[in-house]
Structure 1
Amino acid sequence: MSATQETREKAAFGRLHDAVNSGDMELIAKTIDEIVEPDALIRTPLPIDATGAEALKHVWARLFQTFPDLHVEVEDMIAEGDRLVCRNTVTGTHRGDFMGLPPTGRSVAYNEIFIFRFADGRIAETWGVVDVAGLMRQLGVLPGGSA
């Protein structure tokens, strides 16, 4: 793939990243509609019934209901061919129900790594690894977290 394609993919991801960090669900949904294929394959296990781009909208809506001040910091980004990989640190304050856990008011910071495959300039497939255990420790559900 060309450097131009990789630059285009980084720009598309940048738009999604900026939308997410705005916290504006309307902007996030609009951006997802523009840069994610409706039938994108989401390879990360999710506790929702939706698929494709709609699944991503549901995920972000739930995350912002739980962590209204959520922020994603991209630590590393690598683009090659039709793939873009990013390693992120996610921060937020637990202000809403999360997987049956009522709000704790605790601040959290957890890591994630995502791989995006692009087709014709749009996200067509994703894989993600999220440090849910680290997040649950910080929320006091698993041992080893801060009180």
Structure 2
Amino acid sequence: MPNTGFTRFHEAINSGDADVVAQAIDEVVTPGLIFHAPVPMGLSGPQALKLVWSTLLRAFPDIRVSTEDVITEGDKVVMRNTVTGTHLGEYRGMPPTGRQVRYNEIFVLRFEGERIAEVWGVVDLYSQLRQLGALPD
């Protein structure tokens, strides 16, 4: 079963409130978070994660992350998620389209105690951008 840090973070990201997400990040992410993904503006650690989520919440205010599978082993949690949302704000230079998106992602989180210390992720950006009309079908 995932730890309380995982549960707290998952509940926060589905709140739709950037302040709640930022507070949860402060509570459940280590200050030295290692984020194995391209992050905007050269940020790292918790600040990078906060920027990712504030960007997503501005673009998709109704974003929902539904966890389909969770696998835990040792200090790691692997999640397979389905993400849904409506494009109502600027995203990657695109003005709002009003289109709904549904895409998949897989994340591996490494914990130190109850706090997330390292993140790896694979997000189906191709599907997301295709649904927004930024890429051809």
Interval of TM-score (by shorter of Structure 1 and Structure 2): over 0.9
Counterpart of 1:143 in structure 2 is: 136
Task: Count residues with an aligned counterpart.
Answer: 137
Shift of 1:75: 0.5
Counterpart of 1:4 in structure 2 is: none
Q: State the superposition RMSD in angstroms.
A: 1.1
**Identity of paired residues, percent?**
53
Which runs of 5 or more residues in structure 2 are unaligned? none
Letter of the structure 2 residue corresponding to residue 86 of structure 1: M
Runs of 4+ in 1 over 3 A off after TM superposition: none
Residues 1-147 of structure 1: pairs in structure 2 closer than 5 A: 7=1, 9-144=2-137
SS in 2 for 1:129: strand
- Which stretch shows the higher mean deviation, 46-55 or 105-114? 46-55
Q: What is the distance in 1 between the residues matched to 2:73 and 2:41? A: 31
Q: What is the distance in 1 between the residues matched to 2:50 and 2:21? A: 7
SS in 2 for 1:22: coil
Which runs of 5 or more residues in structure 1 are unaligned? 1-6
Shift of 1:44: 1.3
User: Quick check: which has more Rg, 1 or 2?
Assistant: 1
Letter of the structure 1 residue corresponding to residue 91 of structure 2: F
SS in 2 for 1:28: helix
Q: What is the distance in 1 between the residues matched to 2:21 and 2:133? A: 30
Letter of the structure 2 residue corresponding to residue 126 of structure 1: V
Counterpart of 1:3 in structure 2 is: none
- Which stretch shows the higher mean deviation, 118-127 or 71-80? 118-127
Question: Cα deviations across residues 34-90 of structure 1 (Å, max 9, x unaligned)?
Answer: 110011000011223321011111110000000011011000000100100000001
Q: What is the distance in 2 between the residues matched to 1:11 and 1:120? A: 10
